[in-house]
Structure formats: C-alpha cells, structure tokens
C-alpha cells in the first residue's frame, strides 16, 4: 500500500443555494487544486463539515470526487461515532479507488477508556483494505491520539500514521519521534516548513484549498513560509471554514453555503476578507 505524502487540501463540501450538494462546484474546485500542483485532497474532513451530512450525501460526494482522474491522491474522511457507519465509509473508499482514509476518534464518547478507543480503531483497521491515518484534533473531538492509543494500534499493517491538527510544536515532535517510518501529516499551514525539516511526510492544510500553488511551493522552498503564514493568518482572523468558502464563492466555483448550526460570513466581513486576500496575492 502507498501511504499519502506531500501537499493535500482538506476541501469544503459544496452546498448550493438550494441546500443540496453542488457537485459541479466540486469539479471546478478539484480542477483548480490539480492545476495548483497539489499531491492530493481530503474529502469530508473537518473543513468538509462531515457531521452536517447524511450517509447518502457523504457517499454521493465521495463518488463525485473520483469522476475525473486528476492524478490527485484521494483521502476520504470516515468520521462517525457509529462503528458500522465508519466501516461502511471505509468500504466505499476502497471500492471507489481512494488511496487512504482519515479516522477521527468517536468524538461523542469523550470519557471512553483507552481500551475502548483502541478496540474501535482496531475494528476499523481490520475492515480496511487501504492505509488509515488517525486524526489528532483534540480541540474539536475532545479526544487526543495519546501515546497509549498509538501503542495499541501501531503494530497493525493498515495503520499508516497521523494527521496532526493540534497546531502544537510539541505534539508534532511527539508524533514524529513515535511514528518512525509511518506517516506524519501536519494540519496547520504555519508548521509546514518545520514539519518537513523534522522529517514529516506532508501537510493537509486549509490554505491549500485557496492558494494551492503557494502551499506546493512552500513544500519545496521554506523561504515562502512567511508568505503562506500571512494567508493563513488572514483566514484565521475571519474563521477558517467561512473564509475558505467565501474565497471559493468569490472565484465563481459555487455558492458554498453552510448548514446550521454553522454560519457563513456576513456580507461586510466577506467583502473585507476578499479585499485583503487579493491584496496579499497582488
């Protein structure tokens, strides 16, 4: 099995003005990312707002991402608290031709004991026929990918490594030290150059959805990290998810609406974001 490496974008799931999936917008965005030189994309991760979509929608979105061969490595987010749903998504990823999947811990069960979390993950690994990355984003899930959890799964042949979206230097060092030849994918644009210098395998970062060529170039040239930091800082000031959607909307890819309980930017904030974004790229 080939493990994911390089620069990935965690793409938003496009929703039209009618509240339904906008698969034409997905096609336009994927074309843009491929032209920007990215190595791959993550479908239905945190930026894809996966908990907002039902299983039928998630499967339809997963199928749509593989309709055209853009030579992008495809990773499918399989997050759910229901083990049968996770296993069904993993099976779909395999049958559709995805190269890997991303598994967050079952986030509703924050007080589950380590042995229960290990049992959950091992059942997914047993069912998988492609590499599985664990998703470390404790500020969202409330469950860290701890050393004890890693120790319980590291020997499984389908355990590929970790995507780390903590944004924490110490966590990055912990994972790289413990993972050995497994994959470490950093989830924060600010840490791309440091992660690569420390032996990381790649990145899955929000800015890649809107400035793919800059993220790709930063992987090759650490001198561009400051320029990327400015873009990421701007997105963070207005909110990562809403900012990415607003920029894609501005580019004409689609409406990129948001389902409750999340909300998008108000018109004034959106205009200010777009103006500052264009100034940065001028």
Alpha-carbon gap, residue 64 to 77, rounded angstroms: 14
13, 46, 216, 258: the catalytic one is: 46
Best CA proximity match to 29, nearest among 45, 10, 53, 1? 10
Active site residue 135: yes
Q: Kindly tell me the sign of the dihedral angle through the C-alpha atoms of 111, 160, 37, 48.
A: negative
Alpha-carbon gap, residue 55 to 58, rounded angstroms: 5
Active site residue 108: yes
Active site residue 245: no
The residues, any chain, with a CB within 8 Å of residue 11's CB and separated by 6 or more, are 26, 29, 30, 33, 41, 42, 43, 47, 48, 209
Q: Which long-range contacts (CB under 8 A, 24 or more apart) does 17-24 make?
A: 17/255, 17/257, 19/257, 19/259, 21/53, 21/57, 21/60, 21/61, 21/64, 22/254, 22/255, 22/256, 23/60, 23/61, 23/64, 24/254
135, 184, 238, 256: the catalytic one is: 135
- Other beta carbons within 10 angstroms of residue 39's beta carbon come to 19
Do 241 and 52 meet the contact criterion of CB atoms below 8 Å apart? Answer: no
Angle at 246 between CA 239 and CA 135, to 5 degrees: 50
13, 98, 141, 163: the catalytic one is: 163
Helices (H), the chain: 23-35, 55-64, 83-96, 114-127, 138-141, 147-153, 169-179, 192-197, 212-220, 225-238, 240-250, 267-281
- Residues annotated as part of the active site: 46, 108, 135, 163
């Amino acid at each position: 099995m080939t493990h994911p490496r390089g620069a990935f974008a965690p793409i938003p799931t496009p929703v039209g003005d009618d509240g339904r999936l906008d698969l034409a917008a997905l096609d336009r965005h994927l074309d843009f990312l491929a032209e920007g030189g990215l190595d791959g994309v993550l479908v239905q991760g945190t930026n894809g707002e996966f908990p907002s979509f039902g299983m039928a929608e998630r499967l339809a979105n997963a199928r749509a991402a593989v309709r055209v061969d853009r030579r992008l490595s495809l990773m499918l987010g399989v997050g759910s608290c229901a083990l049968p749903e996770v296993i069904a998504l993993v099976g779909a990823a395999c049958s559709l031709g995805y190269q890997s999947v991303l598994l967050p811990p079952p986030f509703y069960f924050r007080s589950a004991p380590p042995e229960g979390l290990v049992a959950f993950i091992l059942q997914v690994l047993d069912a998988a026929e492609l590499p599985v990355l664990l998703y470390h984003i404790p500020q969202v899930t409330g469950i860290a990918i701890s050393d004890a959890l890693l120790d319980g799964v590291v020997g499984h042949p389908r355990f590929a490594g970790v995507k780390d979206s903590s944004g924490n230097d110490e966590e990055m060092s912990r994972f790289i030290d413990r993972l050995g030849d497994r994959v470490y994918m950093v989830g924060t644009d600010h840490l791309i150059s440091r992660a690569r210098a420390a032996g990381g395998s790649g990145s899955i970062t929000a800015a890649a959805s809107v400035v793919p060529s800059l993220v790709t170039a930063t992987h090759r040239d650490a001198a561009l990290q400051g320029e990327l930091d400015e873009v990421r800082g701007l997105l963070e000031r207005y909110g990562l998810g809403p900012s990415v959607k607003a920029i894609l909307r501005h580019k004409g890819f689609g409406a990129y609406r948001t389902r409750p309980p999340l909300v998008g930017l108000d018109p004034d904030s959106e205009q200010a974001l777009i103006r500052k974004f264009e100034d940065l790229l001028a």
